[in-house]
Amino acid sequence: MTSLLFDPRHIRTRTCDGLTQLGVPVRPDYLPLIFAPGEDVALRPMRDIESRAAILNVVQARVFDMPPQAAMRWLLDAHVLEALTSDEWQFIATGRGDARRYSEQLESLYTLAWMLGLVPHLDPSEYCSDSLPTLMPDLRTGEAFDKWKGRTLPSCRDAVEVAEMLDLYCCLDWLYTDARQRGGGPPGPHDESLIWHRRWALEWVVVLSGPGRAGVTPWDQVRL
């Protein structure tokens, strides 16, 4: 059941405060609604989030030329092959696909690390920390999936906290898109790719139940 703290009006107030601190002041009524009153908010199962983080970590390693056989063997041993998308399978197993596009998912991986409590903040004005590789399975030494979890002790953040972060990133993404469509300059100095990829991970992990909500969505079918 959703926490009583999950009030879309209060979340939007905090989002607008956060946008002001980021140098993007905006009226609450100018922004589209992300959540509806009466909706329940939850997160995907912990195992799903850990598996998705492990997969994106291997994807990043393949961008930097990890041998495909070693990558597939690690995923097989971790029992996460079923969570791969078809495009990820092609890229990891054969190298087919746009490596640059996959490299930009580093910010999605960083977002998952934040959800798992492995990094302290998710500031849109800062790129992912250089320490991120040390927080993920060490593929150079073949660190096993379970050993990684034992070393880092991931623990999911509260669903309302993650929903608040989703509201912030959705509104920030919408403001940049709106400014571009109006032919104006960007509303702030932030990296749109960073915003988009972090929002992707947040949209994927937050599960809303209510009228018109479809439930969980596969990674490659998240619609932003």
pLDDT band at 74 (very low <50, low <70, confident <90, very high): very high
What is the gyration radius of the CA atoms in the chain, in angstroms? 18
Sorted by where each begins, the domain ranges of the chain are: 1-224
Task: Extract the tokens encoding 223.
Answer: 């619609």
pLDDT for position 91? 97
Work out the angle between the directed axes of helices 145-152 and 46-63 (0-180°, nearest 10): 110
pLDDT for position 1? 38
The 10s digit of each residue's pLDDT in 154-192 is: 999 999 999 999 999 999 999 999 999 999 889 999 999
How many Cα atoms occupy the beta-carbon half-sphere of 223 within 13 Å? 4
pLDDT for position 184? 87
Residue 107 has pLDDT above 70, yes or no: yes
Residue 12 has pLDDT above 80, yes or no: yes
pLDDT for position 3? 45
pLDDT band at 4 (very low <50, low <70, confident <90, very high): very low
Residue 34 identity: I
